[in-house]
A = this chain, B = another copy of it.
Amino acid sequence: MVDISEPIKLACGVVLDEHQLMVETYGTLNADRSNAILICHALSGSHHAAGWHDGDRKPGWWDHYIGPDKAMDTQRFFIVSPNNIGSCFGSTGPTTINPATQHPWGPDFPPLRARDWMESQHLLMQHLGITCWAAVVGGSLGGMQAMRWSLEYPEKLLNSVVIASAMKLSAQNIAFNEIARRAIKSDPDYLAGRYLENDRVPRRGLALARMIGHVTYLSDVAMAEKFGRELNIGNFSVGEKDPIEFQIESYLNYQGDKFADDFDANAYILITKMLDYFDLSREYQNDPVAAFKHASCNFMVISFTSDWRFPAQRSREITDALVGAGRNVSYAEIQSDQGHDAFLLPNTRYEKVLGGYLSRVADQLEASTA
């Protein structure tokens, strides 16, 4: 837990006098503090990006890519992974106490933008005595933060790695987020967001929200391969009227229920709104080329062929804008059947592309240090 005692002025105008961040780090900061990578998590992510904690059912969410000899090599880099404000894994957010009321913030936590996460990460950076990130890396909403960093603090990162992301959400993306939010708000246990003070949890709504999200993270092909039309319960014999349940149904219901145990409903509403609001070039006359002219770092953009939440086309648009702005950019479109989830899953080519890029970054750092 890191206490950030400097005030932060959020985009909505509210000032948080102080805030706390749960942070994990992996690897060792080198003598000239130049080998730090910032990991930006996505909607449901946490600071726990790699390794195992006591009681973990599975390792950190990016464990496959962070560690010794992995794509983000902890023998060469110092990896900083904060849980961002507004989330629910210990950092200041809807589940923590609002000092003004001594009750959980709940629905009163101020609305956030991706830039607020970046500003909080910037204060964390100062707290750690780091003046320039070797790279800022993130997938999905994490990629949005990596892009925002390149515009707001161009001199404070050398590389921005933008994975399975987009410069703004489509109407369809917003639609799915709104249905998820309405599912939560429709749950009578939501109590206009004041469920914590009333010892209630809108589990039904939160489970539904996750189920909706989950379908959009998976590809049609991946679901067909994993579940097809296999049955969990029942059969189709004529004369049979007992219930029939497909495996995909029990899988989704399980995923929904599990998420309802782990995540906070107000945080889910808050962070999906942050996703909806993000629009990289809104303040640059809606011109992404004009936006990226403010950047000076190098970029790596990665997309996945079967991702229909943030399709490869969105990443090609990012790449085209970067090229148009005269930035150095590498772009890789990774073949995968795993949909949007691919950015979290093992994939040899993804591993090589990301590892290769960061290995060159480390080579340069070590050469300039030596």
Contact = CB atoms under 8 A, between A and B. Distances in A.
The secondary structure that dominates the A interface is helix
A171 B12 contact: no
B179 A215 contact: yes
Contacts of A212: 179, 212
Interface stretch (A47-55, A79-87, A129-137, A235-243): A235-243
A337 to B, nearest CB: 13
A282 interface: yes
A224 B13 contact: no
* Number of identical protomers: 2
Interface in A194-251: 204-205, 207-208, 211-212, 215, 218, 220, 223-224, 226-229, 236, 238-241, 244, 246, 248-249
What is the interface residue range for chain A against chain B? 35 or more
A227 B171 contact: yes
Given A208-B182, A253-B182, A282-B236, A175 B248 contact: yes
Contact of A215 (B176, B187, B241, B273): B176
Contact of A277 (B182, B224, B244): B244
B171 A276 contact: no
B12 A174 contact: no
Contacts of A182: 207-208, 211, 253, 256
A1 interface: no
A312 B249 CA distance: 25
Given A204-B186, A212-B212, A246-B276, A241 B174 contact: no
A344 interface: no
Contacts of A334: none
Interface of A: 11-14, 110-111, 168-172, 174-176, 178-179, 182-183, 186-188, 204-205, 207-208, 211-212, 215, 218, 220, 223-224, 226-229, 236, 238-241, 244, 246, 248-249, 252-253, 256, 273, 276-277, 279, 282
**Which 5 residue pairs across A and B have the least CB separation, nearest first?**
A12-B241, A13-B239, A171-B223, A186-B204, A178-B249
